[in-house]
Structure 1
Amino acid sequence: MHIERGNPQDGDAPARPRIGRRALLSAGAVLAAGAGAATATAFGRDPAAPPAAPAAAVPHHGARQSGLAYRQLPATRLLALDLPADASRDTLRGLLAGIDKVLAAASAGALADPRLSGTAPVSSLAAVGTALAARLKLDLPAELADLPAFPGDRLDPARSGGDLILQVSAEQPWTVGVLTEHLLTAARSAGAAVRWSQAGFLPPVPDGETPRNLFGFKDGTANPDAADPGLWHADGTILVYRRIRMDTAAFTALPTGGQELAMGRRLTTGAPLTGTAERDDPDIYAKHPDGSYIIPATSHVRLSSPRLDGGARMLRRGYSYDDGPDDRGLLFCAFMRDPALFTRVQNRLAEKDALTPFLTHNGSAVAWVLPGSRPDRPLGATL
């Protein structure tokens, strides 16, 4: 019993009956069991129900890498590696084979590390950067090319580029961290060095719902399906990566109506300003009676609309990052056949987007996402 200071128990109170130790232990066991059941019920688990089945493993081998063939997992790590200047194609193939071995074992729950247990879902991808592709004269699609400079860019070379871009994702940051150690061991044994590293995350959302970015808006609504043939060269594609710092304090200080006009969508539902549901197709040409656009000409949704690019779309699988109070934002990872699409969109955004005052692009990379591997053909074997 808690006794407040200045209010001692009354010494004249009648003596309480003594409770035997055995009875006390029995009562405690009953109470503990009841408390456990109540706690389980409060957090949504029926104590009488069987334990939840473990999540299924993500197959590592396949025509396309699991980092794109599987749903987004909520914890991720991007690694950019540089190879020695005299690295050959054999050096690259050896490095990729070592990485592929680690990732295949991790996906199968067979990685020899006591910190990992079972077959927790793991997805990954590996992509060859433009500089290494040019240096080794790799036979890759002609569309693979660096991006031009954009107005307002503040790119940090220490956060940009890389000969090889790796991404590993899992349900928990713990798993990502352990796998990162194994990947770095394999990379360093082949002579590679870390150029930059970046962790990212998705907020928890119910299955089937679109996650929100740090501005509070749903991010990734109008995405093509990963199987869309318009994204692929056979079973490979091109990654455009941008690290974008977001001035969340300034943006969220705007009135909700101002935020929605800048974005072109409703904050609560994610619906476009011309619709009522999140998945409604934004009508960028609809106007008010006075002739002004319902989705403003400077809104993010309008300027990034596929209608302005002949219907061409990129697959966006972005993550938030939080590296401190003054460095929070978006890891924009987009996949497409031709990065010229990103260039067109970004030029429009840099010129007119109402979000631009709240965004700073400080990291960038373009890389060729390799086709998937097989047990008899590791990543990069066809380079």
Structure 2
Amino acid sequence: MESRPSRRSLLGALAIGAGGIGAGTVLGRAAASEPEPREVDSSDAAPADVAAPIPAVGEHQAGIAVPANPQPFSLTLVADLPNVADVSFLPSVGERLLAFLGDDAHDSGDLTVTVGVGPRVVAAVDAALPGAEPLPAFDGDTELPGERVGGDLLMIASASDPTVLPSVVDALLETVPGGEERWRQFGFRGPGADGIVRNPLGFHDGIIVPRGEEELAENIWLRGDLRTAGGTIAVIRRLRTDVRAFGRLSVVEQEAAVGRRKSDGAPLSGGGQRDEVSLSAKTADGQYVTPVGSHARAAHPGPTGSALMLRRGYSYAEGADMGLVFTCFQRDLRTFVATQQRIDEQDEMMRYVTTTASASFLVLPGFDQGRPLGATLLTA
């Protein structure tokens, strides 16, 4: 493997790649083969602040449901391919990542990298496969630049140490012949538990998501076709938020736009943070307790008959440009499409949100030493 850049150069690359910040198969630290046993003394011990590794291989990619509480930092990259019919590079991407993570000179900690392919790539394999259908145009995406719509390759690298993210993403992109970066975005998350953190508008996010193997199997993981089973469908949306304008609202007005309390995330209709909002509860004078134009009502899966999404969003800040890299995973693209269409129709909070990038991807099934990354597509 080529020599690694210094920590100082990594910090410089991060600042350039991120534009400055204000504040799986996802893989953990694993080698392609088991290392020889050796004696370990105290000098070999990992520093106390190095996060525990995430398993590199398995039925599903990491960075989706594992870890349950996402890492504090993430770098999302979307790239184009010169030949969408050629996915022969995918095993090399997995091998390069395993080699990167298995290098003892690199403290990767809880690094994960999730890899997906875009609709053009999937359709070139089989147009009937999940993920072959692109996102439709949405009424609310009036300022969405064309160069940030779609893409052929997705990589999401996440870790507790942000300095490792640019180098691993760049190293993986080097294994893709002719791969050309379309856009990238660095993101960060505040402290939280069980995947719940505050978003750029100051409200809790990630409250109602599938948890546990049964709910994940029902809502997230693809099944049936062996070429995609164990994968999922990802939607990536870069959302610029007008934090200043939203902040000028009173807390009562903000809560009416969101449908939950700002202090603890509990529904305006009552209960605790993890409770569902009530769409039918009314006040004494006949008004809905969860306002008609609230985000909680518009995004609720009940009216659309949709499944649940697993959301793993990351905030970003580049000068006055602040927002969210919204990432969600679902078994059926319709889950997101139906929800977004309803949001465009009635969500008052969207007046403070502008979409600046949008794409969907088939996140590949997990892999191991006997089944390389992307092998199921290659053997179709």
Native 8 Å contact 2:78 2:184 kept in 1? yes
Tell me how far 1:54 sits from its aligned partner: 4.4
Q: Does 1:174 align with 2:163?
A: yes
Q: Does 1:193 align with 2:176?
A: no
Equivalent residue in structure 2 for 1:238, among 220, 223, 233: 233
Tell me how far 1:178 sits from its aligned partner: 2.3
Q: Does 1:280 align with 2:272?
A: no
Q: Which residue of 2 aligns with 1:359?
A: 353
Q: Which residue of 1 aligns with 2:72?
A: 74
What is the letter of the counterpart of residue 378 of structure 1?
P
Q: Which residue of 1 aligns with 2:203?
A: 217
Q: 1:362 to 1:226 in 2, by over 3 A?
A: farther
Per-residue Cα deviation, 1:55-110 (whole angstroms, up to 9, x for no partner):
3211111010012141211111111121114x543xx122x12211132234xx42
Equivalent residue in structure 2 for 1:330, among 317, 324, 327: 324
Provide the C-alpha distance between the structure 2 equivalents of 1:313 and 1:161, rounded to a whole number of angstroms. 23
Q: Which residue of 1 aligns with 2:117?
A: 128
Q: 1:199 to 1:263 in 2, by over 3 A?
A: same
Q: Does 1:348 align with 2:342?
A: yes
What secondary structure does 1:166 align onto?
A: strand
Per-residue Cα deviation, 1:272-299 (whole angstroms, up to 9, x for no partner):
1012421122111100011110000110
Tell me how far 1:361 sits from its aligned partner: 1.1
Q: Does 1:111 align with 2:103?
A: yes
Q: Which residue of 2 aligns with 1:150?
A: 138
Q: Percent identity?
A: 39
What secondary structure does 1:294 align onto?
A: coil
Native 8 Å contact 1:284 1:295 kept in 2? yes
Tell me how far 1:268 sits from its aligned partner: 0.7
Q: What number of residue pairs does the alignment pair up?
A: 320
Per-residue Cα deviation, 1:300-330 (whole angstroms, up to 9, x for no partner):
00111122133621111111111221x2111
Q: Which residue of 2 aligns with 1:10?
A: none
What secondary structure does 2:319 align onto?
A: coil
Q: Which segments of 5 or more consecutive residues in structure 2 lack a partner in the other structure? A: 1-46, 224-229
Tell me how far 1:248 sits from its aligned partner: 0.4
Q: Give me the TM-score of the superposition, normalised by structure 2.
A: 0.79
What is the letter of the counterpart of residue 184 of structure 2?
S
What secondary structure does 1:378 align onto?
A: coil
Native 8 Å contact 2:118 2:132 kept in 1? no
Q: Which residue of 1 aligns with 2:16?
A: none
What is the letter of the counterpart of residue 128 of structure 1?
V
What is the letter of the counterpart of residue 291 of structure 2?
P
Q: Which residue of 1 aligns with 2:242?
A: 247
Q: 1:246 to 1:140 in 2, by over 3 A?
A: same
What is the letter of the counterpart of residue 80 of structure 2?
D
Tell me how far 1:159 sits from its aligned partner: 2.2
What secondary structure does 1:343 align onto?
A: helix
Tell me how far 1:377 sits from its aligned partner: 1.8
Provide the C-alpha distance between the structure 1 equivalents of 2:194 and 2:114, rounded to a whole number of angstroms. 23
What secondary structure does 2:116 align onto?
A: strand
Q: 1:295 to 1:183 in 2, by over 3 A?
A: same
Instruction: Answer with 1 or 2: which has the greater Rg.
Output: 1
Per-residue Cα deviation, 1:208-261 (whole angstroms, up to 9, x for no partner):
472111100011111112631122213011111111110000001100000000
Native 8 Å contact 1:102 1:111 kept in 2? no
Native 8 Å contact 1:150 1:346 kept in 2? yes
Native 8 Å contact 2:195 2:206 kept in 1? no
Native 8 Å contact 2:116 2:361 kept in 1? yes
Q: Which segments of 5 or more consecutive residues in structure 1 lack a partner in the other structure? A: 1-50
Q: Which residue of 1 aligns with 2:365?
A: 371
Tell me how far 1:265 sits from its aligned partner: 0.4
Q: Does 1:300 align with 2:295?
A: yes
Provide the C-alpha distance between the structure 2 equivalents of 1:75 and 1:182, rounded to a whole number of angstroms. 18
Provide the C-alpha distance between the structure 2 equivalents of 1:329 and 1:241, rounded to a whole number of angstroms. 13
RMSD: 2.1
Q: 1:209 to 1:340 in 2, by over 3 A?
A: closer
Q: 1:142 to 1:126 in 2, by over 3 A?
A: closer
What secondary structure does 2:211 align onto?
A: coil
Provide the C-alpha distance between the structure 1 equivalents of 2:293 and 2:251, rounded to a whole number of angstroms. 17
What is the letter of the counterpart of residue 131 of structure 1?
R
Equivalent residue in structure 1 for 2:55, among 54, 59, 71: 59
Native 8 Å contact 2:195 2:312 kept in 1? no
